[in-house]
Chain A
Amino acid sequence: MTHGVIQQLEAYGAYADAVAPAISTDELDLRSAERIPTRTPQRRAFPNWAVAVGAAAAVFILIGGVLWLIGGTGSDVIDEPSPSTTTTLSLNEPAGTWNPILSTTIAREAPAAATCPEGTNPDAPGPIDQARPGEGPWNNQAAVFDTHTGRIVFLNEAGETWTFDVCTNTWHQTTPTGVPGVPHDGERIEGEMVYDVDSDRTIAFGSDSVSVYNANTDEWQRRSTPSGLDLDSQLGAVYDPVSGLILVVNFDGVLMAYDVDTDGWARVGIITEPREVTHNGYTQTLYPPFLVGYVAEVDRLAFLGYENEPFQDDGALVNPRTGTTAPLEHPPVGVEVGFGRFPYATGGDTAYTYRSGVCRLDPVSFDWDCIPNGDTGGPDSVVYDLINDRLVIINNSCCNWPGNKVEDDVWAIDFATGRSIELLDTANTRTETDGS
């Protein structure tokens, strides 16, 4: 049977509609009902369309979601008390101004950085038969480099905490005290983690929650979330070594500062707000750019915008002390943004990201220096290994399309040489389920 491409695509549409028929609201009800017990109580349940509104409201009250529904969001559910009631920062800074709080350092002396033990070879691949975080879904994983322990802290959607030893290239699953607020049964959409160097803590931001991890004691602690602070999707977060604070930019383009020691938040200013633009008679929304790293060489925050042609070159450097913005002179060639979360990291003197290749922002020319996809594939996480001074790529899972090989390996890339090293080979030969 011979058909033209258009006819083949039309037939595929009929097939896909048969395999993936319309979703009914009843179906969503069932899915939601199954998930309610595992969700954090502040969530509201999906309504049962057959139930009277009053009954639905009663359900909301039972799960605590009514607080959100009537606008009184309050604070998130807290498993453990905040470590301090002394808040030196305030979220109620006036809009339209740039809070100078980042010009003053409150950073403590950072604990000593780890080094590799004598006799270890960081370039030697780890044992292939080792346990690794591959058993659960890897969606929305996050990873940071803990300078003090010298290990990568890795959190996956299953809520498992793992560390990766960059000296021996081995995974280790920890058994922490406490539970991170994210990820949680699919609740987390696009959270982030960042390591606070001077406080020696890892902070995980996720759906309406803030969690703090102490790798020295293997302990997670939940923190309160200020009302009005949207920590959900499109979040970007970095550590600011000058102020000693964690900087967070949310989907509304607001830069905020977080002091993990006092659990205090401050609104710093607005990077840019969503705006409408018109090109060739077509109007579209340009969302605020993503915060992808801190460029220590020039003391600037690096941002990337969406790939909205012809606006894909709207990367910028922002002075965190003054709020002044300088658009990147050259388009970030090779860096595709948009289509959701993408990995990024800060390390050494500049920022790194990944989309169609692993890219480093040259802190002198401000060009994105990209290494195209090769053996390393497309990672879900990139982390800068400060011990070995190189970028580590974790997971290498590829796209969502059925039939593609799922991998769970770890690589390192040295931008000075362009050389990639496989730190841990995949042990996984499974393929994604083929929908055909």
Chain B
Amino acid sequence: MVASTEQTTVAFSEFFAETEPILRHALVASCGPEVGREAAADAFEYAWRHWDRVASMEHPVGYLFRVGRSAAKKYRRTPVVADPPVDAALPWVEPGLVPELRRLSDRQRTAVVLRHSFGCTYDEISRVMGVSIPTVQKHVERALAKLRHTLEVMQ
């Protein structure tokens, strides 16, 4: 049976409302705030265009995370955020943190930022990253160990 346009719209709208935070946070954790947000928007547009397929997936967020990571590549040389909100009103960040996050592996960075910057549960992280909970825990622990070694030694 083919869903009506209205049914499709409602279903996608509910999916979007439910998954926007975790997908955006995951892509921000992986690719940085500006690129990650654009990539998340791209992933949701992709989800809409392929809604029948995405809606039937067991773990659509994990799939869209990979879509978003792929889409993020195109922003590497041409950032599309027109007016980067870089000003003093932004929350303060330890100057040494971002370079150290950059030095982590993709997975370690994604896991530790999702866990400790955005407060996601291990279960949420495992679903979006497509790995088991023990693997997530391992990535978080290793990332924290690296960050503590570099940042706290610096302090």
Contact = CB atoms under 8 A, between A and B. Distances in A.
A418 B123 CA distance: 41
Nearest to B152: A5
A25 interface: yes
A338 B70 CA distance: 12
A15 B152 contact: no
B132 A28 contact: no
A16 B48 contact: no
Interface of B: 2, 5-6, 8-9, 12-13, 16, 20-21, 24-25, 28, 30-37, 40-42, 44-46, 48-50, 53, 58-59, 62, 66-67, 69-79, 84-86, 90-94, 97-99, 101-102, 106-107, 109, 112-113, 116-119, 126-127, 130-135, 144, 147-148, 151-152, 155
B69 A309 contact: no
Contacts of A9: 97, 112-113, 116-117, 147
Contacts of A186: 42, 71, 74
A71 interface: yes
B85 to A, nearest CB: 6
Q: For chain B, what secondary structure do more than half of its interface residues adopt (helix, strand, loop), or is it mixed? A: helix
Given A4-B152, A23-B41, A284-B132, A49 B5 contact: no
Contact of B78 (A137, A230, A404): A137
Contacts of B48: 28, 32, 44, 46-47
A53 B5 CA distance: 7
A110 B20 CA distance: 51
Given A11-B92, A186-B42, A276 B58 contact: yes
A140 B75 CA distance: 12
Contacts of A430: 77
Given A9-B117, A189-B46, A276-B58, A400 B90 contact: no
A374 interface: no
Name the residue in B5, B118, B126, B155 with the highest tally of chain A Cβ atoms < 10 Å from its Cβ. Answer: B5
Contacts, number: 235
Nearest to B118: A13
A137 B73 contact: yes
Contacts of B147: 5, 8-9
B133 A432 contact: no
A276 B57 CA distance: 12
A187 to B, nearest CB: 9
Contacts of A366: none
Interface string A48-63: 0100010011001000
Given A189-B71, A399-B106, A13 B117 contact: yes
A23 B24 contact: yes
A400 B77 contact: no
Interface in A369-412: 380, 397, 399-404, 406
B1 to A, nearest CB: 9
Contacts of B94: 1, 3, 8, 11-12
Nearest to A44: B49
A340 B70 contact: yes
Interface in A1-35: 1-6, 8-23, 25, 27-28, 31-32
B101 to A, nearest CB: 8
A240 B62 CA distance: 32
A246 B107 CA distance: 34
B8 to A, nearest CB: 7
A339 B133 contact: no
B91 to A, nearest CB: 4
3 closest cross-chain pairs (CB), A and B: A13-B117, A139-B74, A20-B37
B131 A308 contact: yes
Interface string A256-289: 0000000000000000001010011010110000
